[in-house]
Structure 1
Amino acid sequence: MRILVLGGTVFLSRAVAEDAVRRGHEVTCASRGASGSVPDGVRHVAWDRDATVPDELDDTFDAVVDVARHPSRVRSALARFPRAHWVFVSTVNVYADDSTPGGRPGTLPLRDPQPEDVDLSVDPEAYGPMKVACEQLVRDGAASWTVVRPGLIVGPGDPSGRFSYWPVRLDDGGEALAGGRPEDSMQVIDVRDLAAWIVTCAEERTTGVYDGVGDVLPVGDVLAQVASGVGATATLTWVPQEVLAEQGVEPWMGPDALPLWLPRPEYDGLPAHDPAPSYAAGLATRSIAETARDTLVWVRATPDAPTTGLSREKEAAVLAAWHASEG
């Protein structure tokens, strides 16, 4: 089949293109990037989605995979390819409730849609509402559609560096700072597993809305699998979230953040969506240990691999303050 990937140069969209080519599909990637940045075996068409659609992107594609967040770009692409099956990659950030575990599509309220493009550097909170608007456009404008709402996507090539922090940190050994409680929930999905499922949804013209998430696990188990995958012997010291906040440690992502730590209970539901409907629709996931191993190999082999998280000096200072308070 003929598949159009809107993007195809970075992380998830690139993994989708790679998987589709491996299956023997005719794949075109449309992006602003250079042709050399798309996977081997893929036809590249240069397209800035704020500009007119190039003539070589005609309405003969069987499926379109779109990861856009700007409603205007989704709107124009739908007008160009109205007959294709659309697989739209949304996000769990469309949900207005981040505190309730076990949610699935149809059980949690959505944020109010933001139908106009918003600069996220000005208003980062517009991300979820813009994705809500994009979902509505796809449901109303595509011949048939799948909406996939991923949570934390991880694995080789991760541009955020959130998960990558942990394989590197645990492989370095010593005493490692862990946040909150080991029983707090967490879920991740390997980019390769998500991409493979997206291609399957395109092939089968799967319809409906799904959360693209893996199993819900205690974060302590997630980190244990990371350690196992990289053969690490680091020792985890769990520091309560109140102490982390007092020490200026930020949650989730950033230069002063501890990745995978989220304040509770307000974020009990964000990394705890029910994966059962997605598994029933064909999603298959690998072990976190395998993802961690492959992520570490990628980071060590890629000098400019993105990473995020607090420095070793900051980590040591927080641990020292915690041990002093313990007395």
Structure 2
Amino acid sequence: MATSPSSDRVLLLGGTSWLGGEVARAALALGHEVTCLARGESGTVPAGARLVRGDRSTPTAYAELPAGQQWDLVVDLTRQPGQARGALAALSEHATRWVLVSSCSVYADHSVPGAGLDTPLLAAFEGEESGPEQYGEAKVACEAAVTAYRGGDALVARSGLIAGRGDLSDRFGYWAGRFALAQQDGGPVLVPETIDQPAQVVDVDDLAPWLVRAGLGGTTGVVDACGARRTLREVVDAASRASRFTGEVVPVPDEALVAAGVEEFMGPRSLALWMRDPQWQGFSARDPVSALEAGLVSRDLVETTRSALGWERELGLDRTGRRAGLDRADELALLASR
């Protein structure tokens, strides 16, 4: 692949899933030489990137990388402590800069809106490979591995909820997709009555290039890689505008939603991003000052919403079995029962 004389060598540990692929695209767009080490089972790498196959759960994971290659930047997206340690052992001495994509799920307390980097962390997971239920604890262990190998000479980016094209979680995109579907079928849209609660996302098109620029630029330390603090009302309003919705919006009391078995935030038969539990009011309201100081700037919410809506249309506005949100028939049945 042709690169400019000033291009940097970027190694993505991943690159075939959503965020990894977007980081690879961003690095390519910035003119860098990109290699992705992955099993290749989650998809393909972006055009222009080189795929090196390697299973990070095996001792030979890095055997196919060029021997002695010096990398200007390594970006690791793993949630498995054993993989994080293995990568650092094999590659840290050959990496000028290192970025670990972590998560705000590492924090032990999510009750305080506006909390910052001084929030206590969960206890680190002690094993090599964790399950989804230990996600936060495993990310803490991954962070500890980075510190053990590189001290403060690495960027640990604790990502908030990521939104935009390619998102398979169905969370942020639910609202834009639902308003667009309701505009088509002429029916109302159900919203929770308590709607001024926090809602915070970071656009993947902001996060991915920032990870590359900040990493290569020498940004180190811990950053809460979150977007601007917003409310669910702002998300719903942006979704309505992006979808050009002209129909009826029906607020439903929290108690009625709970009685009907509607879950909070995510999962089947939920209301996406709705979070009534007081112990979680800070989860989507982190202080974005560390992100701003590190150069992570959030685009307009409507722009993120339009991107999410385009993706929802590709997936199918009327699809069922969502990972977050209500199926349309269920939503209309809930409204009809009131």
Contact 1:34 1:46 in 2 (8 A): no
**Where in structure 2 are the equivalents of 1:12-161 lying within 5 Å?**
12-33=19-40, 37-51=44-58, 52=60, 53-58=62-67, 59-83=69-93, 84=95, 85-106=97-118, 108-120=119-131, 124-142=132-150, 144-161=153-170
Q: 1:180 to 1:81 in 2, by over 3 A?
A: farther
Give the whole-Å Cα distance in 1 for the aligned partners of 2:82 and 2:248: 48
% identical aligned pairs: 41
Q: Note the residue ranges of structure 1 that are not aligned, 5 or more in a row.
A: none
Aligned twin of 1:189: 202
Please give the secondary structure, in 2, of the residue aligned with 1:37.
Answer: coil
Equivalent AA in structure 2 for residue 165 of structure 1: Y
Contact 2:17 2:43 in 1 (8 A): no
Please give the secondary structure, in 1, of the residue aligned with 2:278.
Answer: coil
Contact 2:16 2:42 in 1 (8 A): no
TM-score between the two structures when normalised by the length of structure 2: 0.89
Aligned twin of 1:277: 290
Q: Which runs of 4 or more aligned residues in structure 1 lie more than 4 Å from their structure 2 counterparts after TM superposition?
A: 302-307
TM-score between the two structures when normalised by the length of structure 1: 0.91
Give the whole-Å Cα distance in 2 for the aligned partners of 1:152 and 1:10: 16
Give the whole-Å Cα distance in 1 for the aligned partners of 2:89 and 2:75: 15
Mapped pair 1:318 → 2:334: yes
Q: Deviations over 1:271-290 (max 9, x none)?
A: 00011221121101112211
Give the whole-Å Cα distance in 1 for the aligned partners of 2:303 and 2:44: 26
Contact 1:35 1:45 in 2 (8 A): no
User: How far apart are 1:313 and its partner, in Å?
Assistant: 2.3
Give the whole-Å Cα distance in 2 for the aligned partners of 1:61 and 1:231: 47
Give the whole-Å Cα distance in 2 for the aligned partners of 1:76 and 1:133: 13
Aligned twin of 1:219: 232
Equivalent AA in structure 1 for residue 194 of structure 2: R
Q: 1:137 to 1:57 in 2, by over 3 A?
A: farther
Among 242, 265, 269, which residue is 1:256 paired with? 269
Contact 2:82 2:129 in 1 (8 A): no
Equivalent AA in structure 2 for residue 225 of structure 1: A
Equivalent AA in structure 2 for residue 71 of structure 1: P
Please give the secondary structure, in 1, of the residue aligned with 2:309.
Answer: helix
Q: Deviations over 1:85-141 (max 9, x none)?
A: 2111111110000111101112x1100000313442xxx431100100100101121
Contact 2:53 2:64 in 1 (8 A): no
Q: 1:233 to 1:55 in 2, by over 3 A?
A: same
Give the whole-Å Cα distance in 1 for the aligned partners of 2:316 and 2:193: 31
Q: Deviations over 1:144-183 (max 9, x none)?
A: 2001111110100002121221111011223111225121
Mapped pair 1:235 → 2:255: no
Aligned twin of 1:170: 179
Give the whole-Å Cα distance in 2 for the aligned partners of 1:29 and 1:272: 33
User: How far apart are 1:232 and its partner, in Å?
Assistant: 2.4
User: How far apart are 1:11 and its partner, in Å?
Assistant: 1.3
User: How far apart are 1:311 and its partner, in Å?
Assistant: 1.4
Contact 2:122 2:140 in 1 (8 A): yes
Equivalent AA in structure 2 for residue 255 of structure 1: P
Give the whole-Å Cα distance in 2 for the aligned partners of 1:302 and 1:240: 30
Contact 1:155 1:191 in 2 (8 A): yes
Please give the secondary structure, in 2, of the residue aligned with 1:64.
Answer: strand
Alignment RMSD (CA, Å) = 2.0
Mean Cα deviation higher: 143-152 or 306-315: 306-315
Give the whole-Å Cα distance in 2 for the aligned partners of 1:55 and 1:69: 22
Q: 1:310 to 1:46 in 2, by over 3 A?
A: same
